[in-house]
């Protein structure tokens, strides 16, 4: 295992850690957690919202007999913890539910705008509540925040000097917020990465154009993870594991990875950008196209089509794919019928993607 120092705390966090949002059962959670800890993984990120509320309990049950070997991180969303007293109440409730005496880390979940940040930092705000919980031994380190928002909010949070660590979504095909990694690193804030394999899509990328990502005895996850490990600004990658086989495969990416450098990262990133460019749809998921007057969501549609076309997920029927990855409630045909092909969304796309052509193509394929 490779360990990275967290800011100036002296804590050493394993570069691969557990993102506990995809457990399939309590048994597999136990098996994966314990095997991962045997392999040196020492950080787990959970919440009371993952896996229908079961994740934090299953995860706690899996590690109780080895409590000192792992940093257990929990979090509150803004609705549950808008101020000092409510976050305190939430922390106590989560400790009761998990049966743990303390959390090692505590995070504010889903920071996304300046107003929320200001409220969290204000007197009587969430940050103060977490700090009090730290003073009383309910939480050991923090606060941290998980982030889905504009760069300036992230930078303001880091600049406040109040946060020990931050978690962002980042991977080799979605690098829009790469600058935030450097920013946090320079300011001594730990940077944790969620979605390191783009929700598993990068692990499935099997076409010949992805040969450059594959490693000995493993698929595209090998290069995708080594790309992250080569970035010294990343403290840890939260692996959302579902199977023990995935854990074993992911771990192969660490073999000889200590010496991976910037040149390796640049080379791999350039190859991925070339594949994305050649394939045409390199949607970053920025969401700027969500302006449809008819209620269609081009962003999720384009991301679903990106994954379908770029990553060669051809085992799936297109309609089933769109249903599972995109629309969920309506049928893809009902959803696509909302689009009147006005082009408004396309004008907003910073990547200049041909959204309307993609919609037309899929409408034709599904006979909408
Ligand atoms: S082309 Fe117009 S109608 Fe279709 S999704 Fe874009 S904004 Fe909506
Ligand atoms: S604006 Fe373009 S890149 Fe951004 S989500 Fe929409 S299609 Fe994707």
Q: Which pLDDT band, with edges at 50, 70 and 90, does 358 fall under?
A: very high
Residue 128 sits in the same domain as residue 256: yes
315 pLDDT higher than 70? no
Q: Whose CA is nearest to atom 7 of ligand 1?
A: 292
Q: Is residue 50 part of a domain?
A: yes
Residues 40 and 101 in one domain: yes
Q: Are residues 11 and 143 in the same domain?
A: yes
125 and 69 belong to one structural domain: yes
Task: Supply the mean pLDDT for the chain.
Answer: 90
Does residue 142 sit in the same domain as residue 203?
Answer: yes
Q: CA-CA distance, 196 to 251, in Å (whole number)?
A: 13
Q: In testing the pocket of ligand 2, which one of 173, 299, 358 has its CB within 8 Å of the most ligand atoms? A: 299
Instruction: Indicate whether 273 belongs to any domain.
Output: no
- Residue from 95, 35, 27, 37 nearest 66 by CA: 37
Question: Does residue 238 sit in the same domain as residue 326?
Answer: no
pLDDT score of 353 more than 90: no
Distance (Å) from CA 294 to ligand 1 centroid: 7
Could you tell me the CATH number of the domain that includes residue 251? Answer: 3.20.20.100
pLDDT tens-digit series, residues 250-307: 999 999 999 999 999 999 999 988 887 776 667 777 778 999 999 999 998 998 888 7
Last residue of a domain, one of 234, 261, 288: 261
Residue 295 CA to ligand 1 center (angstroms) comes to 8
281 in any annotated domain: no
Q: Is the pLDDT of residue 309 over 90?
A: no
Q: How confident is the model at residue 117 (pLDDT cuts 50, 70, 90)?
A: very high
Q: 77 - beta bridge partners? A: 109
Whether 197 and 334 share a structural domain: no
pLDDT, tens only, 157-201: 999 999 999 999 889 988 878 999 999 999 999 999 998 988 777
272 is a domain residue: no
Specify if 283 maps to a domain: no
Q: Taking 80 as the threshold, does the pLDDT of residue 354 lie above it?
A: yes
Classify residue 293: in a domain, yes or no. no
Residues 191 and 50 in one domain: yes
| E strand segments, the chain | 3-5, 12-14, 16-19, 43-45, 71-77, 103-111, 139-147, 165-169, 190-194, 236-239
Pocket around ligand 1 at a 6 A CB cut-off: 292, 294, 296, 298, 339-345, 356
pLDDT of residue 280: 66
Residue 269 lies in a domain: no
The verdict on 309 and 245 lying in the same domain is no
* Total of domains in the chain: 2
Among residues 65, 48, 47, 55, the alpha carbon closest in space to that of 29 is found at 55
Compute the distance between CA of residue 314 and CA of residue 206 in angstroms, rounded to an integer: 9
209 and 302 belong to one structural domain: no
- Residues 184 and 318 reside in one and the same domain: no
Same-domain status, 312 and 213: no
Residue 325's domain spans which residues? 298-365
Burial class (CB in 10 A: 0-12, 13-18, 19+), 115: exposed
């Amino acid at each position: 295992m490779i360990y990275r120092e967290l800011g100036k705390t002296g804590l050493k966090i394993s570069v691969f850690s557990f993102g506990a949002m995809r457990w399939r059962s309590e048994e597999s959670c136990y098996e994966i957690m314990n095997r991962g800890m045997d392999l040196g993984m020492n950080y787990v990120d959970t919440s009371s919202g993952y896996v229908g509320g079961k994740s934090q309990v299953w995860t706690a049950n899996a590690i109780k007999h080895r409590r000192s070997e792992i940093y257990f991180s929990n979090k509150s969303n803004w609705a549950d913890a808008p101020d000092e007293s409510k976050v305190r109440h939430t922390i106590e409730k989560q400790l009761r539910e998990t049966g743990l005496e303390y959390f090692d880390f505590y995070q504010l979940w889903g920071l996304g705008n300046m107003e929320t940040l200001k409220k969290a930092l204000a007197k009587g705000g969430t940050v103060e509540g977490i700090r009090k919980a730290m003073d009383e031994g309910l939480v050991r380190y923090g606060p941290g925040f998980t982030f889905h928002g504009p760069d300036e909010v992230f930078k303001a949070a880091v600049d406040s000097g109040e946060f020990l660590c931050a978690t962002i979504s980042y991977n080799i095909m979605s690098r829009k917020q790469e600058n935030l990694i450097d920013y946090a690193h320079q300011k001594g804030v730990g940077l944790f990465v969620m979605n390191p394999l783009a929700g598993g899509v990068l692990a499935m990328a099997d076409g010949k154009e992805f040969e450059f990502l594959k490693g000995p005895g493993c698929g595209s996850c090998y290069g995708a993870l080594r790309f992250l490990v080569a970035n010294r600004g990343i403290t840890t990658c939260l692996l959302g594991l579902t199977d023990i086989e995935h854990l074993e495969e992911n771990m192969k990416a660490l073999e000889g990875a200590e010496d991976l450098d910037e040149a390796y990262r640049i080379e791999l990133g350039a190859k991925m950008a070339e594949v994305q460019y050649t394939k045409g749809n390199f949607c970053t998921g920025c969401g700027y196209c969500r302006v449809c007057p008819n209620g269609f969501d081009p962003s999720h549609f384009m991301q679903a089509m990106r994954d379908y076309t770029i990553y060669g997920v051809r085992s799936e029927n297109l309609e089933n794919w769109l249903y599972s990855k995109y629309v969920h409630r309506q049928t893809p045909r009902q959803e696509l019928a909302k689009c009147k092909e006005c082009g408004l969304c396309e004008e907003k796309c910073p990547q200049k993607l041909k959204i309307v052509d993609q919609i037309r193509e899929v409408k034709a394929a599904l006979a909408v």
